[in-house]
Amino acid sequence: MVNGATILLTGACGYIGSHTWVALAQAGFAVVGVDNFTNSSPGVLPRLQRLTGQTPVFEQVDVCSAADLGAVFSRHRIDAVVHFAALKAVGESTSQPLAYYANNLGGLLTTCRVMQAHGCRRLVFSSSATVYGAPEHLPIPEDAPLSATNPYGQTKLMGETLLRDLAQADPDWRTATLRYFNPVGAHESGLIGEEPRGTPNNLMPYVAQVAAGQRPFLQVFGDDYPTPDGTGVRDYLHVMDLAEGHVAALRWLLAGGDALTLNLGTGQGHSVLEVVSAYSQASGREIPLRMAPRRPGDVAACWADASQAFKALGWQAGRGLAQMCDDSWRWSRSSAGFNEGIQRAA
């Protein structure tokens, strides 16, 4: 069942979804992609065609619509689903909680109902390290206490609960819940990468825009944390390592493996200043900084114990911080959205 299986990819044109599409195609899976372009652009489709050598099988669908999603299942024989479709900005989730609960939980619930109606019971769920809240111990293992501190994190935690209850009620269901840490970087080709709308919510795309001259400086929130250089430490994971983790989880499920919940991370933390230094070296450009007070809710340090992913799936991250920055900068230079900024900075 593994070889030649057809995978439905929700949120397929987003940052992680598009990279996973490439990894799935390279692994020999057939992919059917759906997206409503809330957090993505149809411009990624021709780039996916260049990368995979195949015309993408894609339908513009909102996963909250059971009728539209059911029609996709009627047109294609789907063996498993990788579910990325979700709103993902922590700050926005605090100001728009109803939108996050409706989309993230409603979309997952609808997807599972449609899957069940069509006899498909293999699902890889995109969860997040936000379900751990403020960690009590480092590195963070999968059995650490769970305590989401914002609506986005709550939707991931509630999604995990939904899937666990579903599997308990119907043992035919097999799910892989992947809690990943801080995805960064881009495909090494420079053809696809992260395309934030408006002000980036994450560190590396913001640093990229400063390096490209699109923003005058990087504001660093907190330089007095109990970390080696005083700035926050996070587990940054190359997006292609993350994509390959989803492929490994799919292989596990399709080969008859039991449900599992795993961290995906490097198992190593890097501070804000370490990331800035590495990005400055990759880009050959100075990254101006301004220090600011800590933000409420930010933790000093957070990184994964990813040993269980290696034990269960044979997966481990293989790309280091230098490659994350190199690939991010390559994407920044090749992306039309950055060209003018780079010319101003030159």
What is the domain extent for residue 73? 6-185+237-264
Residues 161 and 271 in one domain: no
Cα separation, 277 vs 263, in Å, equals 27
Alpha helices in 61-105 (DSSP H): 66-75, 90-95, 97-100
Which tokens go with 200? 């980036």
Give the active site residues: 152
> What pLDDT, on the 0 to 100 scale, is given for residue 340?
35
Task: Tell me: do 228 and 241 sit in the same domain.
Answer: no
Provide the 10 A C-beta neighbour count for residue 109.
16
* 222 and 277 both lie in a single domain: yes
CATH at residue 276: 3.90.25.10
Count the neighbouring beta carbons within 10 Å of the beta carbon of residue 313: 22
Domain assignment of residue 1, yes or no? no
Residues 245 and 216 in one domain: no
Spatial strand order of the sheet with 233-234 comes to 270-271, 233-234, 301-302
The model carries a pTM of 0.95
The reply to whether 192 falls in a domain is no
Where b means 16+ CB within 10 Å and e means fewer, 10-25 reads bbbbbbbbbbbbbbbb
Does any domain span residue 288? yes
Whether residues 67 and 30 fall in one domain: yes
Please write the tens of the pLDDT for every residue from 110-150: 999 999 999 999 999 999 999 998 898 999 999 999 998 89
**Ranges of the chain whose pLDDT falls below 50:** 336-337, 339-346
According to DSSP, the β-strands at 57-60 and 30-35 are parallel
Find where tokens 């495909």 sit.
187
Please give the backbone phi and psi of residue 123, each rounded to the nearest 5 degrees, phi first: -140, 130
Over residues 289-313, the pLDDT tens digits come to 999 999 887 889 999 999 999 999 9
Q: Which two tokens mark 188?
A: 């090494």
Residue 191 lies in a domain: no
pLDDT reported for residue 346: 41
Chain center to CA of 207: 18
Question: In which residue are the tokens 């911080």 written?
Answer: 321
Residues in the chain: 346
In a domain, 152, yes or no: yes
**ω into residue 139 within 30 of 0, thus cis?**
yes
Same domain? For 153 and 215 the reply is no
Burial class (CB in 10 A: 0-12, 13-18, 19+), 118: middle
Q: Is residue 51 included in any domain, yes or no?
A: yes
3-state DSSP call for residue 176? strand
pLDDT value at residue 3: 66
pLDDT of residue 198: 83
Together in a domain, 11 and 134: yes
Write out pLDDT tens, residues 36-67: 999 899 999 999 999 999 999 999 999 999 99
- CATH number, domain with residue 173: 3.40.50.720
Rounded CA gap, 86 and 154, in Å? 13
Q: Do 248 and 230 belong to one domain?
A: no
Residue type for position 263: N
65 is a domain residue: yes
Specify whether 65 is located in the same domain as 177: yes
Q: What is the pLDDT of residue 341?
A: 39
Residue in the structure block whose two tokens are 């002000």: 199
Same domain, 213 and 114: no
pLDDT of residue 1: 53
Residue at token pair 């992260």: 194
Residue 226 CB contacts under 8 Å (≥ 6 apart), including other chains? 300
pLDDT value of residue 296: 82
- Taking every pair of Cα atoms in the chain, the longest distance, rounded to a whole number of angstroms, is 60
User: Looking at the 3D structure of the chain, how many domains does it have?
Assistant: 2
C-alpha to C-alpha distance for 208 and 215, rounded to whole angstroms: 9
Q: How many CB atoms lie within 10 A of CB 105?
A: 18
CA 164, CA 171: separation in Å to the nearest integer? Answer: 10
83 and 222 fall within a common domain: no
Establish if 190 belongs to a structural domain. no
| Residue 335: per-residue pLDDT | 58
Q: Could you tell me if 138 and 260 lie in one domain? A: yes
